[in-house]
Amino acid sequence: MTTPLWFQDQELAYLKGTNLFSNDTPPEQTSIGLQRGLYREQWELRITELKNAGELVDDFTWELFLWARTIFSSRSFTSDLFTNKVGNSSFSVLYPVLEIFNHNLGTKVSWKFHSGDFSLCLEEKVEQGKQIFNNYSPKGNEDLLMGFGFCIPDNPYDQVAVRIGQISPDVHRQLHHSIPTHWQSESWEPKKSVFHLRATSQDTPDNSNMYGVPNLRCLRGIPPELAKSVYIIMLEHSKVSVSSNEVPDEKEIWVGTIDVLLHQMEATLMGITRWNGELLDLPSTAGGKAALIYRTGQVKILEGIISGLKAFMDPLRAGEIIIQDLFQ
């Protein structure tokens, strides 16, 4: 078993500071801890049900349940593929035969479900005698590591999760009004405060035009929903700090937004790299090697985004350029 739920301490060390195993968060509240806690709760519930039914439970150990749960989750598909999702009612399903294919990143296939049947349809030619692959769908290394226990070097679908801290109800209402596709609830939901960064090389040049976000090169890799959210937070704060007769300048607010994003990315990167001195150069286990690939990918994405943000802010801070010139 090579998912992080099975990691030994020397393997967990390669996840220190990342979204999966932040050292600033109690272990039980990290992504790994929450997943383990959920599975543990499921096991305890089943044990209680068996005891109430008069069954012997000595053989149904936590380790055996975790093994079975890991096997099941790594081979199952979500019910959303073939049912109409209602609320949070999706569940995992095993499909016979469909799991026999090996997987390969970028393989062009589609899954089609109809009346309880499924088809794996190839969307590119395969020579006779060559192996037919399935794919994992576009998954970043965090999903691959937690779900399957491996990572892909230079994964084009990789991403880094960052969060916005809880904000006041008034500011949240502005976010809900301005970006309803992301901030869907009228009240604060922690899961909606999570955004996913991508490598700047994988972002489209015009991706930041949504929600009135300026098409600046330094915003590559940053989801427009995150950039606009920080802008709105900055705007609301500026309204409080200036007199009622003053109108905050939009370009100045965007510069402040970019500066905040830069500090956030630098802090996120520092949270990972400050543990580098405790790591061995080369891990010896499969789990450790996968964790190092994940860690390296997180750092690479953050460094790329930070480089772009600094290229925007440094000349401005040095007085080499004025704000108006940056938005031409």
pLDDT tens-digit profile of 188-242?
A: 888 889 999 999 988 766 555 678 899 899 999 999 999 999 999 999 888 776 6
Domain-embedded: residue 115: yes
Lowest mean pLDDT: which of 24-28, 104-108, 163-167, 323-327? 323-327
Q: How confident is the model at residue 259 (pLDDT cuts 50, 70, 90)?
A: very high
The proportion of the chain whose per-residue pLDDT surpasses 90, expressed as a percent, equals 56
Q: Which residues lie across from 92 on neighbouring strands?
A: 78
pLDDT above 80: residue 80: no
Pair (232, 282) in one structural domain: yes
Q: How many domains does the chain have?
A: 2
Share the mean pLDDT of the chain. Answer: 88
pLDDT above 70: residue 244: no
Pair (130, 240) in one structural domain: no
Amino acid at 228: K
**What's the pLDDT at 138?**
85
Pair (205, 322) in one structural domain: yes
Q: Distance between CA 311 and CA 309 in Å, rounded?
A: 5
Query: In the numeric block, which tokens belong to residue 149?
Result: 């226990």
**Angle at alpha carbon of residue 162, lines to 305 and 238, rounded to 5°:** 85
Compute the average pLDDT of residues 288-311. 97
Lowest mean pLDDT: which of 27-36, 56-65, 242-251? 242-251
Domain span at residue 112 reads: 78-137
**What's the pLDDT at 192?**
86
Pair (194, 274) in one structural domain: yes
Pair (126, 164) in one structural domain: no
Pair (103, 163) in one structural domain: no
Pair (114, 83) in one structural domain: yes
Compute the average pLDDT of residues 51-74. 94
The residue among 197, 190, 142, 151 whose CA lies nearest residue 167 is 190
DSSP code, position 229: H
Q: How confident is the model at residue 19 (pLDDT cuts 50, 70, 90)?
A: very high
**What's the pLDDT at 326?**
75
Lowest mean pLDDT: which of 9-23, 86-100, 297-311? 86-100
Pair (126, 195) in one structural domain: no
Which has the higher per-residue pLDDT, 23 or 125? 125
Which has the higher per-residue pLDDT, 64 or 242? 64
The residue among 187, 146, 191, 170 whose CA lies nearest residue 287 is 146
Domain-embedded: residue 321: yes
pLDDT tens for 312-324 read 999 999 888 888 7
Pair (129, 166) in one structural domain: no
Domain-embedded: residue 223: yes
Compute the average pLDDT of residues 91-99. 80
Which has the higher per-residue pLDDT, 84 or 15? 15
pLDDT above 90: residue 136: no
Which parts of 98-158 fold into alpha helices (H)? 141-148
Domain-embedded: residue 71: no
Residue owning tokens 């089943």: 46
Pair (189, 318) in one structural domain: yes
